[in-house]
Amino acid sequence: MPGWGHGRGGLYGREPEMDAIAELLARARAGGSSALVLRGEPGIGKTALLDHAAASARDLRLARGTGVEFEAELPFSGLQLLLRPALGHLAALPGPQRAALEAAFGLGPATGSEPMLVGLAVLSLLAEYADETGLLCLVDDAQWLDRASREALLFAARRLHTEGVVMIFAARDGEGSFPAPGLPESRLSGLAPQAAAALLDRHPLAPALRYRLLAEAGGNPLALLELPVALAAEGGSAFSPGALPLTDRLQLAFHGQVSRMPAACQSLLLVAAADETGELAVILRAAAELGAAVEDLSPAERAGLVLRGDADGTTIRFRHPLIRAAVYQRAPLGQRLAAHRALAAALGSPEHADRRAWHLAAAATEADEETAAALERTASRARERSGHGAAAAAYERAARLSVEPGARARREALAAEAALEAGDLERARDLGGPRGPGAGRRPGDAGASRPGAGARGLLAGLLPGRPPVAARRRRAYPRHRSRPGRRTADPGRAHLLVPGRTAARGDAGPAGRAAARRRGSTRAGGAVPRSSRPRPFRAAAAAGRHPRGGTAARPGPRPDVDDPLRRGARIGPGRRRLRAGDRARGRMPRAGRRREAANGAVLHGRGRGVHRPAPGRARYRDRGPGARPRHRPAAVGQPVQQRARLPRCGQRRGGRLPAQRRGGARGGATAAAISPGAPWAHWSLGLLDLGLGRAEAALDRFERLTREPMRHHICATRSTPDLVESAVRVGSPERAAEPLARLATWAGSVRQPWADALVLRCRGLLAADDQAEALYTAALDLHSQDVRPLEYARTALLYGEWLRRAQRKAEARGPLHDALEVFDRLGMRPWAERARGELTATGAPGQGPRPAEGVAAGLTPQELQIARLAAQGLSNRDIAAQLFLSHRTVGFHLYKAYPKLGVASRGELKEFADRLGL
């Protein structure tokens, strides 16, 4: 706001904030990047500081945008306004990023890309637009940004490094929400008394009135500027002291100015306030419906209530957002509804369909199926553009406007699913849970929401301590059973819930599974007809795996089933086939392909902008009979399962976990059902104990897995080699006999080299000295046929220990060296120390520096990760796409890494591939 006194830069009393902005701009001129969030109450001076930043950065490129309250449900509307000057650089972006951003802005066909790919495209576009000049991005009223724009901008802001970009957000307290974790913030308070007095002295006031205003304004600059004007216009009695909160008094002051305008001018201002995009052509078309014309805008312009938004005069804006709030909120309801109807009529062209739908909804006073359908189409378009939060809001509003109960239930379910896709668990719980709009209906009712049942089941599974609820809700989803002469109600959606129902049987425990079998046997039509089985069931049967645990011959691979999984080309269906076929029976006849498919799905997801593996996808990388134990959490967003993996991080680093974390990871297990994370927690904590030499504690944890309710879980099978090793170390090998027999039976059905190798390792631990060597060497031969370095290293360690005890120290050094190299590369400190101790006992010379202390010792984790990818031959842009960075940041890290590694080019870097752990 102009005229803030006579301080430096035209702002009096804001020297610290102006110094901070000057430092950010200096960093941008030097090629660095930074971000800042300004927070404060309305009128505290956020916009004035943004104006000051823009005036101080005339040598930088400028991109400026504002959050629009009435566009908060239109995905990417705020982002499009901000990046409009930079759209000419879209062609420089990688193809997938360019397509995602064009789809988000409606400039190209919808690609169905993930929201994070849009965020990565924003980061790349900012870097390109900054060029060598530098860029200042200013976002005012960030609390009103639509969710999709907010997430994309924050994604980019948190990854700025060396692009020469400064991003400053201004967010208001008390309205909307602009959470910005990870970004520095500056909270603006009221002006100091001296500065406030200097600002107020611009108006000649009586001493008593001056004192009153200073006390009530509390240093708020807008109040110090506007309240004297309002008091003078109302004869000094516009409101009594303290009668209203400050913001309400300011709105009242602004409304007093508006109420003195002619009636036609007030109508035109109301239309502008209801639309607030500022498009003068649209505003004038709508105002014409209310009897106003462009000439009626002149009184408001002369009073300074509205300003021209650009040089060509095609847009207008209010001088301050509180003026717009005063115009809209204090208008009678009938006039507000008429303004929205007029705007809907003015937005009749197809490109304005989404805005028209929301204005129709704002004008609706009762159920209206036509408006509900328009909102549903808006939600569908938002979902295709990755605006899942906006889609949830549109579906929810459409449900409230629905006439038919069935349509209302369907839209409620779609709203819950969209909220879940947006990661808004609280909103999804409200929409799809028992408190939501669809509460009280049974799954079999005509108006029941079948997709909503699945969403409720998935939500319950993601919440800690809720597995029985998840199992019950997932099973409540009606089976897609055909009736005579009637097709299934919704076979196209059945595949979405097969994984959930399959997982529910596993998490529900023995009693839950038995109850499910009893229900299945008593229902009419007991078995699901082949014609109505969801596709994952048919795919599983085609691959020779019966999803309900029956036996089937295993024919050769079928290209139509296996190839998409191996390529990882289709994440969703591929993952669902994996879950339905392999997880349901708990077997893995094609372990390598499954692992390859899951990893391919994750890599493909990164190409689509998936910032983290979706629930289930990471589990397929980590879980199942063929899963390799991972020693770092593979994903976030799965509260119970991922919390259970914390001990593996501790095992990897050799650290210890607080007692509350050790206990919290196991929470939720009962005799009737288990928490999804409990078996993984027991296995992980057991591995941690075993690695730290606490064999008795480890054996106790592994034996818990062999008892109900976890006996059925895959962890009970895959932890058997660890159980055998623990039992041998405590001198009780007989405690491992029954679990080993189960493992051998399972391995015989799987017929995989790595599984047979585990059995041979266990038998080597239990065998007599004259038989152990043959078993260990056979196990190592089988390990060499599979890419599982950790299992190879553990078998080599045991073999080396056996050789040393047999006084064959020279022969022991080979396998021990192999084991140490793997443990060091994986960062598994306890196991590496154990192997190093064994090597020392053999009389081996000094081991030399560990990889962490060698050539890559000076690299930061980010530099090491980038150097590894560069050594594989990836370009800076390819690396940036994988790591969700800008290509300038990648180049900066490589520039810093080269001297540390003693190389000068990518060609030389390839020589260090092995030493970098590739």
pLDDT digits (tens, 9 = 90+) for 340-369: 999 999 998 888 899 999 999 999 999 999
Confidence band (pLDDT; 50, 70, 90) for 730? confident
Look at residue 503 and tell me whether its pLDDT is greater than 70. no
Cis, bond preceding 709 (omega within 30 deg of 0): yes
SS3 304: coil
CB 683 within 8 A of CB 674: no
Distances (CA, A) of 428 to 42, 413, 476, 505: 31, 9, 18, 23
At 495 the pLDDT is 41
Read off φ and ψ for residue 36, nearest 5 degrees.
-150, 140
Residue among 100, 48, 54, 52 nearest 75 (CA): 100
Write the burial class of residue 92 (CB in 10 Å: 0-12 exposed, 13-18 middle, 19+ buried).
middle
SS3 831: helix
Q: Region 330-342: what's the mean pLDDT?
A: 93
Look at the alpha carbons of 738, 739, 743, 746 in this order and tell me if their dihedral is positive or negative.
positive
Q: pTM to 2 decimals?
A: 0.62
| Cβ-based neighbour number of residue 272 at 10 Å | 30
Residue with the bigger pLDDT between 693 and 294: it is 294
Residue with the bigger pLDDT between 440 and 324: it is 324
User: Phi-psi bin for 106: left (phi > 0), alpha (psi -120 to 50), beta?
Assistant: left
At 23 the pLDDT is 95
Q: What residues have CB less than 8 Å from 287, skipping those under 6 apart?
A: 267, 268, 271, 293, 296, 342
Instruction: Say which residue the tokens 């030389």 belong to.
Output: 908
Distances (CA, A) of 129 to 90, 125, 871: 9, 6, 29
DSSP state, residue 627: P
| Cβ-based neighbour number of residue 347 at 10 Å | 23
pLDDT above 70 covers what percent of the chain?
Answer: 67
CB 545 within 8 A of CB 625: no
Residue among 120, 877, 34, 159 nearest 894 (CA): 877
**Helix, strand, coil share (%) of the chain residues, nearest 5:** 60, 5, 35
Condensed to tens digits (0 to 9), the pLDDT of residues 857-885 reads 677 878 888 888 888 888 888 888 777 78
- Chain mean position to CA 584: 28
Confidence band (pLDDT; 50, 70, 90) for 211? confident
CB 826 within 8 A of CB 886: no
Condensed to tens digits (0 to 9), the pLDDT of residues 890-917 reads 888 888 888 888 788 787 777 666 655 5
Q: Region 147-155: what's the mean pLDDT?
A: 92
Cα separation, 651 vs 618, in Å, equals: 20
Condensed to tens digits (0 to 9), the pLDDT of residues 798-842 reads 999 999 888 898 999 999 999 998 888 887 888 888 888 888 888
pLDDT above 90 covers what percent of the chain?
Answer: 27
Residue among 182, 328, 353 nearest 258 (CA): 328
Q: What residues have CB less than 8 Å from 435, skipping those under 6 apart?
A: 429
Condensed to tens digits (0 to 9), the pLDDT of residues 275-301 reads 877 889 999 999 999 999 999 999 999
Residue with the bigger pLDDT between 485 and 364: it is 364
CB 610 within 8 A of CB 633: no
Confidence band (pLDDT; 50, 70, 90) for 606? low
CB 888 within 8 A of CB 163: yes
SS3 38: strand
Cα separation, 278 vs 284, in Å, equals: 10
SS3 342: helix
Q: What residues have CB less than 8 Å from 683, skipping those under 6 apart?
A: 629, 701, 702, 705, 715, 718, 719, 722
The two tokens of residue 634 are 């593979």
Q: What residues have CB less than 8 Å from 572, skipping those under 6 apart?
A: none
| 411-420, 451-460, 466-475, 561-570: least confidently modelled range | 561-570
Distances (CA, A) of 121 to 134, 559, 884: 18, 35, 9
Q: Region 399-415: what's the mean pLDDT?
A: 92
Residues linked to residue 38 through DSSP beta bridges, in sequence order: 170, 186
Specify the DSSP element, H or E, that contains 376: helix 369-384
Confidence band (pLDDT; 50, 70, 90) for 6? very low
CB 793 within 8 A of CB 823: yes
Cα separation, 647 vs 659, in Å, equals: 11
Look at residue 118 and tell me whether its pLDDT is greater than 70. yes
At 369 the pLDDT is 94
Look at residue 117 and tell me whether its pLDDT is greater than 90. no
Write the burial class of residue 232 (CB in 10 Å: 0-12 exposed, 13-18 middle, 19+ buried).
middle
Q: Tell me the average pLDDT of the chain.
A: 75
CB 135 within 8 A of CB 167: no
Instruction: Give the number of residues written for the chain.
Output: 918
At 357 the pLDDT is 93
At 859 the pLDDT is 78
At 428 the pLDDT is 80
Read off φ and ψ for residue 63, nearest 5 degrees.
-130, 120
Condensed to tens digits (0 to 9), the pLDDT of residues 644-669 reads 444 444 454 454 444 434 444 444 44
Residue among 783, 746, 759, 722 nearest 589 (CA): 746
The two tokens of residue 388 are 């899942």
Instruction: Say which residue the tokens 């500027």 belong to.
Output: 225
The two tokens of residue 461 are 């599974």
Taking the chain, what is the end-to-end CA distance rounded to the nearest angstrom? Answer: 56
Residues linked to residue 40 through DSSP beta bridges, in sequence order: 172
Provide the total of helices (H) and of strands (E) in the chain, helices listed first: 47, 7
At 535 the pLDDT is 40
Q: What residues have CB less than 8 Å from 563, skipping those under 6 apart?
A: none
SS3 504: helix
Cα Dmax for the chain:
108
At 564 the pLDDT is 34
